[in-house]
Amino acid sequence: MSETGLTSSTNTMGTTPGYMPGFGNDFETEALPGALPQGMNSPQKCAYGLYGEQLSGTAFTAPSHQNERTWCYRIRPSVKHVGRFEKIDVPYWKSAPHVLDDVISLGQYRWDPIPHAGEPLTWVTGMRTVTTAGSVYTQAGMASHVYLVTESMEDEYFFSADSELLVVPQEGRLRFCTELGVIDIEPKEIAILPRGLVYRVELPDGKPARGFVCENYGQKLDLPGRGPIGANCMANRRDFKTPIAAFEDRDAHSRVVIKWQGQFHETFIDHSPLDVVAWHGNYAPCKYDLRDYCPIGAILFDHPDPSIFTVLTAPSGVPGTANIDFVLFRERWMTMEDTFRPPWYHKNVMSELMGNIYGEYDAKPDGFAPGGISLHNMMLPHGPDKTAFDKATHSNLAPEKLDNTMSFMFETRYPMHLTEFAAKEAPLQDNYIDCWDSLEKNFDGTPEGNWKR
């Protein structure tokens, strides 16, 4: 037995113990020798008395390059992992559409880090929805959350039938004990938890954890096309890590919570549902170290659109316009000549929610603390404040290292609507909109302008 209680293979399966490298690969892994059938999916009798079962992440008839499924060989079939359902209330976890008459979502917003409340909170009860977009019913759009976890789930499990979850830790480590293996993540890493995957969330260090979640209602997250960039840089497939098989054969009164169509239900069983002894397929959880992301940028003048920093994208029905983009702004060199180097002023058809993992963001040196969030909704102008503008306009443009910085953006084609928590309970900075008030008129009708140094 491991410290998680799950029994796993002694084969480390790659250069990172406990994980297999690659994104979207067809993996195969077994926690007991001979548990995985070879050459077929559904033998008449599975080894060890196991049950064969398929977990499908796409329709059976999805194109082969998009088709995702995993064959699981488990102690009990999943029909034994649920019973009669009862609705429960999870008041702070909201799903789209969630439009409130008394909340104004139109605006530029920023929040201080959401503090821990001082009450016991698990992965489910500690989820705090900030924005929703699109519709969970039509499987389009997303929600953004902050999680506040102070205690591990014990004999309790969760899965979402609505969504894939992208988890971005900011403080403290998490352990996801899933049907397909164990994932440990810490700040500067992310995890992807597929729709329908059953798991338990633990605090391996016993310390509170905080971070961000992008709940994806639409098509699965994928790596963006690199186009003329070619085969390398940005996020490389080999750096994503998928866990090896691990299972629990444990009898205990257990609670399973299911999110389905924005509603929450519970059911009770008499055993752990994490009982997959072997599996093969390409529908599985994974993690990625953001420090492995290799940024691309301009090396002479100007700088590309921020889409050049895309780590993951979930497509929509409009080519080139994402349901979700996950964009990373990390340490990098700035070398452009005669160029305004911070992100420029703009309005965008996409809605942008940013979070700060650590350090200082170059467009907003003040007020955007680690753990903080900002929202610039679709077609609302935004850009650097006066401090950032003056520094970028008048500084000596020598090569400069942007250091000690890591922030990200959840971007979507849909307008984001604030929840009541975001508008009335979270530490909203009422004066954020004022950060542009001190910008001055520099135009005086002469080519030199009225630049003040």
Q: How confident is the model at residue 12 (pLDDT cuts 50, 70, 90)?
A: low
Question: Do the Cβ atoms of 432 and 374 come closer than 8 Å?
Answer: yes
Q: How confident is the model at residue 56 (pLDDT cuts 50, 70, 90)?
A: very high
Averaged confidence pLDDT in the chain: 94
Q: What is the pLDDT of residue 270?
A: 97
Q: What is the pLDDT of residue 329?
A: 96
Q: How confident is the model at residue 127 (pLDDT cuts 50, 70, 90)?
A: very high
Residue 376 has pLDDT above 50, yes or no: yes
Q: How confident is the model at residue 360 (pLDDT cuts 50, 70, 90)?
A: confident
CB atoms near residue 301 (< 10 Å):
10
**For residues 90-110, average pLDDT:** 96
Q: One of 65, 280, 303, 394 is an active-site residue; which one?
A: 303
Residue 157 has pLDDT above 90, yes or no: yes
Spatial separation of the C-alpha atoms in residues 49 and 46, rounded to whole Å: 6
Question: Do the Cβ atoms of 285 and 312 come closer than 8 Å?
Answer: no
Residue 451 has pLDDT above 80, yes or no: no
Q: Kindly report the three-state secondary structure assignment for every residue of the chain.
A: CCCCCCEECCCCCCCCCCEEECCCCCEEEECCCCCCCCCCCCCCCCHHHCEEEEEECCCCCCCCCCCCEEEEEECCCHHHHCCCCEEECCCCCCCCCCCCCCCCCCCEEEECCCCCCCCCCCCCCCEEEEEEEEECCCCEEEEEEEEEECCCCCCEEEEECCCEEEEEEEECCEEEEECCEEEEECCCEEEEECCCCCEEEECCCCCCEEEEEEEECCCCCECCCCHHHCCCCECCHHHEEEECCEECCCEEEEEEEEEECCEEEEEEEEECCCCEEEEEECCCCEEEEHHHCECCCCCCCCCCCHHHHEEEEEECCCCCCEEEEEEEEEEEEECCCCCCCCCCCECCCCEEEEEEEEECECCECCCCCCCCEEEECCCCCECCCHHHHHHHHHCCCCCEEEEEEEEEEEEECCCCEECHHHHHHCCECCCHHHHHCCCCCCCCCCCCCCCCC
Question: What percent of the chain clears pLDDT 90, i.e. is strictly above it?
Answer: 84
Q: What is the pLDDT of residue 188?
A: 98
What is the strand order of the sheet 351-359 is part of?
A: 108-111, 373-376, 351-359, 400-412, 322-334, 310-315
Q: What is the pLDDT of residue 137?
A: 96
Q: What is the pLDDT of residues 179-232, one digit of tens each?
A: 999 999 999 999 999 999 999 999 999 999 999 999 999 999 999 999 999 999
Question: Which has the higher per-residue pLDDT, 234 or 342?
Answer: 234
Q: What is the pLDDT of residues 406-446, one digit of tens each?
A: 999 999 999 999 999 999 999 999 999 998 999 999 898 89
Q: Is 376 a catalytic residue?
A: no
| Residues 319-346: b if buried by 16+ CB within 10 A, e if exposed | eeebbbbbbbbbebebbbeeebbbbeee
Q: What is the pLDDT of residue 362?
A: 62
53: CB partners within 8 A, 6+ apart: 71, 72, 73, 74, 77, 78
Residue 1 has pLDDT above 60, yes or no: no
DSSP-assigned beta bridge partners for residue 70: 55, 281
Question: Which has the higher per-residue pLDDT, 392 or 14?
Answer: 392
Q: What is the pLDDT of residues 347-356, one digit of tens each?
A: 989 999 999 9
Residue 10 has pLDDT above 80, yes or no: no
Q: What is the pLDDT of residue 361?
A: 78
Q: How confident is the model at residue 118 (pLDDT cuts 50, 70, 90)?
A: confident
Q: What is the pLDDT of residue 2?
A: 44
Residue 102 has pLDDT above 90, yes or no: yes
State the virtual CA torsion across 356, 360, 365, 369 in degrees, nearest 10.
Answer: 40
Q: What is the pLDDT of residue 117?
A: 81
323: CB partners within 8 A, 6+ apart: 134, 140, 141, 142, 216, 217, 218, 219, 314, 315, 316, 412, 413, 414
**For residues 233-259, average pLDDT:** 97
Q: How confident is the model at residue 363 (pLDDT cuts 50, 70, 90)?
A: low
Of the given ranges (130-134, 172-176, 336-340, 386-390), which has the lowest mean pLDDT?
A: 386-390
Question: Do the Cβ atoms of 163 and 179 come closer than 8 Å?
Answer: no
Spatial separation of the C-alpha atoms in residues 119 and 357, rounded to whole Å: 24
Tokens at 373, concatenated: 């969030």
Question: Do the Cβ atoms of 175 and 182 come closer than 8 Å?
Answer: yes
**Cα–Cα nearest to 35, from 248, 202, 278:** 278
Q: How confident is the model at residue 176 (pLDDT cuts 50, 70, 90)?
A: very high
Tokens at 339, concatenated: 């160029």
Tokens at 278, concatenated: 């072997």
Q: What is the pLDDT of residue 264?
A: 98
DSSP-assigned beta bridge partners for residue 20: 242
Question: Which has the higher per-residue pLDDT, 453 or 291?
Answer: 291
Q: How confident is the model at residue 364 (pLDDT cuts 50, 70, 90)?
A: low
Tokens at 393, concatenated: 């306009």
Half-sphere exposure of 385 (CA within 13 A, CB side): 17
Residue 338 has pLDDT above 50, yes or no: yes
